[in-house]
Amino acid sequence: MTLGEFIKGELIDIVEWLETSPDTMVWRFVRPNNEIKNGAQLVVRPGQQAVFVDQGNVADIFLPGQHELSTRNLPVLSRLRGWKYGFASPFKAEVVFVSTRQFAGARWGTKAPVMTTDPELGPVRLRAFGTYTVRIANPEAFVRELVGANASLSIEQISDQLRDLIVARFSDTLGEQHASVLTLASRYVELGDRTAQRLAPELARFGLECTQMIVESIALPDEVAATLDQRTRIGLIGDMGAYAQLQAADAVRDAARNPGGGAAAAGAAMGVGMAMGQQLAARTGSAMNPPASVSPPPIPSSSYYMAVNGKPVGPFDMASLRERATDGGLVKSTLVWREGMPQWVAAGDVPEVSSLLQ
């Protein structure tokens, strides 16, 4: 010990912690040889508690306020030391300051998807994310179980352990839910509260308390979410004929975005686009200008389109369709459509085309 440290230890008789980091949970007061003058002033600020540790044993705990450190005010420490009479010499003890305020905004999330069973969708994998708030509820247990001989401890140092506990208990809570995953968004608060209740006994062993558990989102896998989006589109459309037209419109859009896709694809997209444009124009015109008298519908075209790999191909005249039927490109289950037809129909159900297959 240098002369400066010795003089500093003899003159300074104020023991306090001026918090400089919002993430620090525990800070150990350092004095030369851990000697604290008898009669020194201990300052414990709001949101703090001071834990006296003597040879690994918690001697006393001081709440917020200003305290005089003397043998008569430290009965537990005096008993551990075997002091029967007060004296004025320094005594050795460690002072560990504990922050009892709430540490908010810590994030948690599932590393791997949580497997659960949905009554409508079947087995699904879910990912969940959120935040939590903890505080030190039992400074003695916290110092004994987690701090040990460390000079300080921050929330980041135990965040991985807390996250693993949260994810494990959240998975248990989620596995008990028998409702559809589509309704979980309305139960985030309930899921957070139940997870916090499950965490309470395990956190209490470390002197911690989870005061708030927030579930921000529960996400489905991308492919499942895309399928649900497609299902929603079908529900909004209302019938499969309109859905087939929507698919044709998507094909036109894709062909426009991919000019290098070939002349056949571009021609098919243009043909479908023209057919749909004619239908839309006819519907719009009839809606805006209702006819004065009933007139016969237009004669449908004899050119057909075929659905190949989910995209419209054509148009084909009857001779071309016969060649397709001969080489196996046109079968009874192949979807076909021509102008005037309300929707795509299997080739075997169209008499004109079915005769070619025979």
pLDDT digits (tens, 9 = 90+) for 103-158: 998 999 988 888 877 777 778 888 899 999 999 999 999 998 898 888 899 999 99
Pair 152, 187 in one domain: yes
Pair 172, 91 in one domain: no
Pair 206, 107 in one domain: yes
Q: List, in sequence order, every residue forming a beta bridge with 49; answer none if it has no partner.
A: 98
**Count of the separate structural domains present in the chain:** 3
119-187-124 Cα angle (round to 5): 35
Percent of the chain past pLDDT 70, that is, above it, reads: 71
Which of 221, 252, 272 is the C-terminal boundary of a domain? 221
Q: Which domain holds residue 321?
A: 238-285+300-357
* Helix (H) / strand (E) containing 218: strand 208-219
CATH number at residue 141: 3.30.479.30
* pLDDT reading at 162 higher than 60: yes
User: What mean pLDDT, rounded, does the chain reach?
Assistant: 77
Pair 255, 190 in one domain: no
Residue 86: how many CB atoms within 10 A of its CB? 11
Residue 294 lies in a domain: no
Pair 78, 93 in one domain: yes
Residue 226 lies in a domain: no
Percent of the chain past pLDDT 90, that is, above it, reads: 26
Which of 99, 120, 154 is the C-terminal boundary of a domain? 99
Q: Greater confidence, 349 or 291?
A: 349
Pair 41, 123 in one domain: no
Pair 190, 242 in one domain: no
Question: pLDDT tens across 60-73, in order?
Answer: 899 999 988 876 66
Which of 221, 252, 273 is the C-terminal boundary of a domain? 221
Q: What local confidence, expressed as pLDDT, does residue 270 receive?
A: 52
3-state class (DSSP) for residue 100:
coil
Distances (CA, A) of 276 to 252, 281, 304: 10, 8, 14
Residue 147: how many CB atoms within 10 A of its CB? 21
Residue 233 lies in a domain: no
Q: What local confidence, expressed as pLDDT, does residue 260 receive?
A: 58
Q: Greater confidence, 216 or 308?
A: 216
Residue 283: how many CB atoms within 10 A of its CB? 10
